[in-house]
Amino acid sequence: MNGRWGYPAIAPFFVIFLIFGVAPVVYSVYISFYKWDPLGVSEFNGINNFTFLLQDSDFWIALRNTFSIWALSTFPQLAMALGFAWILRNRRLKGKSFWRTILLVPNITSVIAITIVFQQLFGRDYGIINSLIQLIPGVERIDFVEGTLSSHIQIATMITWRWLGYNTLIFLASMLAIPDELYESASVDGASRWQQFVFVTLPQLKNTITFVLIVGTIGGLQVFAEPQQLGADGGSTKQFLTLTLFLYNQAFLNNKYGYAAAVGIAITIIVLIISTINFFITRRIASESSS
Amino acid sequence: MLRTTSTGLNRKNSKSLIGISAALILIVSSFVQPARAADPITLTIWTFGEVIQPGLQREYQKLHPEVKIIPIKNDVDPLHQKTVLSCQTGGPADIIAFEVPYSGYWRTGNRPNCFQDLRQMKTSDTNAAAGIAAGLSATDIKKNYLPWRWEQGVAFNDSVIGIPTDVGGLQVAYRVDLFKKAGLPTDRTQVSKLWPTWEKFIAVGKKYVAKLSAAEKKSGKGFIDDAGSIYSAVMNQGTAKYYQADGTDAGKLVYKTNPQIKKAWNTTVSALNAGIGARLGQFTSDWNIGMNKGAMATILSPAWMLDYIKKQAPETRGKWDIANLPGGGGNKGGTELGIPSYSKNKQAAFDFLTWYLAPEQQLKVFKTYGLFPSTSVLYNDPELLNYKDEFFNNAPVGQIYTQGVLKLKPIFEGELERKIDTLFGAGLGRVASKKMTPEKSYALVISDVDKLFKN
């Protein structure tokens, strides 16, 4: 009786997964071998989409931008989140839950709203950041959106602002799980607060840091809304064109669904490579901490 | 034994549950049914900017209490993507607005099928009260419209896919107070005489910028809001853009050879090099702020932009005036309204369209929102010609834009017009921000456009 009903019971998940998960993947692999315009001509194109992709300078620029924005948004954010968590962990801090709630507010703000506000902050002529920069004598206005590095900084700032609180809370949770005895014995040994942070807290957070890094990498490869809002085409020299934006533009701006599918497959391969690297690093960390 | 009884009970429960919910559904649906019988018609309009005016919408709903109009606004490009998708999947829209730069896309290939052929539609008699005769098809109302403007809504298989809302006649809006401060003439006829050609326009710009103080220059003030906007103005004064009419549906691609492109590009580059622009991209937040702060003395303004200036910079009331565009007539934008093939309310949609785009309504739209009528029967109408706008120093806006529009020649709009234009715009952006030399940037534009036609 139980055996008979087991499969129907789990069927809804698999049916939905087949329709919305597997089918689109199979379909996009299929159309990646076609020149595919839903309102125009569609014809078999062999591996041309893929060979063209490897020669397409825009793809390589997008790859560079994606990793640059990822690095600029992940590492400073990690350091800041650790710092904030360390402050929030402090026993003498008043209004703890207030600060924890405040930290999460950016995370529930819509990306579009964030982009609009940050665009004004970073505005070339009337942005507050440029007004501050102008106070330093001899420094020129920065056209954030036009520059390559500066536009990456602008986008990374938005991402950091949005995700900092979330990562802080994750660090805080695992910091609170570190037994007090470790700190007590460290202070008995004469360790300063900084030494305690470096030699007790950080090693204990190793797994959490790995987790945050992996989640950050996944998010980093998906950066889309922020650059799209800054300029749908990714900037005049494609300076902030990211991989997902590139894919989206090929499909929905240029109506090249086949080519976009090929880009999607390329992104999948990149993600697989990074996941493999992640896997080996995580395994090494795990074996180190168990030994 | 005990176990089987309990499962038996459960089954009984679940059966009665099904029974109850089935009864509930029946009851609920019986409540819904009579409401449907009253049959109010909801017209969903996908639109952008000020194409659908709330005032006129209310007026129509008063004439037709059974019709409810819901305009949904998007930006022009996202709206185009939405339209492309909905043509494949079906959608909720009954009327869709598309800009003229996209008209070439909808007119070619099998894409006219996405829209209802309006020659097949006839106005119903419900519109009699609103002054529209019954039994009119698109062919019957054609005579009211500017002929070349009407053709932009006619597909290459001759089906009428859109009716024109407005003509984006282009003129120069200038700041009287700032011109005075710079020692330039302020009277609109004299100002127009300052710049019969684009070269003269740039020369005036240089003169203006030279009078600015160092602090003003540092804060980014300039003669024109965005020197890049000169490009499309010059382009539209030619006889062909990226495509040339050659008798075929698709037209001939001439983006590498058309001398007009070179001319527009070089004129814009020389304006950029002369440093007369405030480098404010139109419709950015900096542009809106700059308009209030007097960061620019001129804007190349299509008729539809006048209302935008009024709304964004209300404090500059009376400080603006309108002069003629250098180099002859000008054009920018313009919109079509069409009915998607999947619409379920085609009759009501057609009745609304024919009323909304009739000359009487277009005149009202012009007076309230500045969109210049596409109905050429109005061009002799004293109400249009005598219309003056207080915001623009009582300039005879009607007369100035009518004269400009009458000078316009039809230009062939090809399939990827808008897309190619965006790439040329980006190329000029690279020159403006001094990231590339004009030659290098131009080469990149050409290779980017080439890519559009691969894969």
Please report the pLDDT score of residue A290 as a whole number: 55
* B433 vs A49, A125, A236: nearest CB: A236
Chain A nearest-CA distance from B40, in A, is 33
Label the pairing between strands B243-244 and B163-167.
unpaired
3-class SS shares of chain B: helix, strand, coil, % to 5: 55, 15, 35
Contact B109 A126 (CB under 8 A): no
Within-domain flag for A20 = no
Q: Spell out, as residue ranges, where chain A has pLDDT lower than 50.
A: 291
Within-domain flag for A282 = yes
Within-domain flag for A131 = no
Angstrom distance (rounded) from CA A85 to CA A80: 8
| Chain B residues within 8 Å of chain A (Cβ atoms) | 77, 81, 84-85, 87-88, 109-111, 114, 219-220, 279-280, 285-286, 289-290, 295, 419, 422, 426-427, 429-430, 433, 435-436, 451-452, 454-455
Domain containing residue A164: CATH number: 1.10.3720.10
Contacts of A199 (CB under 8 A, 6+ apart): A186, A191
User: B103-131 in b/e burial notation, b at 16+ Cβ within 10 A?
Assistant: bbbbbbbebbbbbbbbeebbbbebbeebe
The two three-digit tokens of residue A176, written as one number: 């609170």
Closest to A124 (Cα-Cα) out of B111, B162, B284, B170 = B284
Q: How many domains does chain A have?
A: 1
How many CB atoms are closer than 10 A to CB B293?
17
Q: What residues in A contact B219, CB-CB < 8 Å?
A: 125
A·B CB contacts under 8 A: 69
Please report the pLDDT score of residue B6 as a whole number: 38
Residue A227 CA: distances (Å) to CA of A222, A242, A248, B210: 11, 7, 12, 37
The string of pLDDT tens digits covering residues B143-158 is 999 999 999 999 999 9
Angstrom distance (rounded) from CA A189 to CA A181: 12
Q: What residues in A contact B422, CB-CB < 8 Å?
A: 233
Angstrom distance (rounded) from CA B186 to CA B34: 66
Q: What residues in A contact B90, CB-CB < 8 Å?
A: none
H-type helices in chain A, by residue range? 2-17, 23-31, 48-55, 57-89, 96-104, 111-121, 128-135, 148-176, 180-188, 193-196, 202-204, 206-221, 225-230, 243-248, 257-290
Q: Is the dihedral of CA B264, B266, B267, B268 positive or negative?
A: positive
Residue B342 CA: distances (Å) to CA of B47, B91, B346: 17, 7, 9
Within-domain flag for A257 = yes
For residue A179, count CB atoms less than 10 angstroms from its CB and return exposed for 0-12, middle for 13-18, buried for 19 or more: exposed
The rounded percent of chain B whose pLDDT value lies above 70 is 91
Nearest residue of chain A to residue B449 (CA atoms):
A254
The two three-digit tokens of residue A21, written as one number: 């998960």
Contact A126 B451 (CB under 8 A): no
Angstrom distance (rounded) from CA A93 to CA A85: 12
Angstrom distance (rounded) from CA B356 to CA B57: 8
Does pTM top 0.90 for this prediction?
A: no
The two three-digit tokens of residue B29, written as one number: 């649906």
* A125 vs B77, B88, B290: nearest CB: B290
Within-domain flag for A27 = no
Please report the pLDDT score of residue B35 as a whole number: 42
* B429 vs A125, A236, A256: nearest CB: A236
User: A191-203 in b/e burial notation, b at 16+ Cβ within 10 A?
Assistant: beeeebbeebbee
Within-domain flag for A129 = no
Angstrom distance (rounded) from CA B209 to CA B220: 11
Please report the pLDDT score of residue A2 as a whole number: 63
How many CB atoms are closer than 10 A to CB B366?
23
Contact A119 B285 (CB under 8 A): yes
Contact B430 A120 (CB under 8 A): no
User: B237-262 in b/e burial notation, b at 16+ Cβ within 10 A?
Assistant: beebbbbbeeeeeebbbbbeebebbe
A149 is in which domain, residue-wise?
Answer: 55-112+140-290
Contacts of A175 (CB under 8 A, 6+ apart): A85, A86, A89, A201, A204, A205
Contact B111 A119 (CB under 8 A): no
Domains of chain B: 41-167+335-380 (3.40.190.10), 170-330+412-452 (3.40.190.10)
Within-domain flag for A120 = no
Within-domain flag for A47 = no
Contact B87 A39 (CB under 8 A): yes
B296, B223 contact by CB (below 8 A): yes
Q: What residues in A contact B85, CB-CB < 8 Å?
A: 252
Contact B290 A146 (CB under 8 A): no
Say which residue the tokens 């998010």 belong to. A219
Q: Spell out, as residue ranges, where chain B has pLDDT lower than 70.
A: 1-38, 129
Please report the pLDDT score of residue A286 as a whole number: 67
User: B189-199 in b/e burial notation, b at 16+ Cβ within 10 A?
Assistant: eebbebbeebe
Chain B nearest-CA distance from A103, in A, is 28
Chain B nearest-CA distance from A52, in A, is 8
Q: What is the ipTM of this complex?
A: 0.79
Contacts of B147 (CB under 8 A, 6+ apart): B376
Q: What residues in A contact B109, CB-CB < 8 Å?
A: 39-41
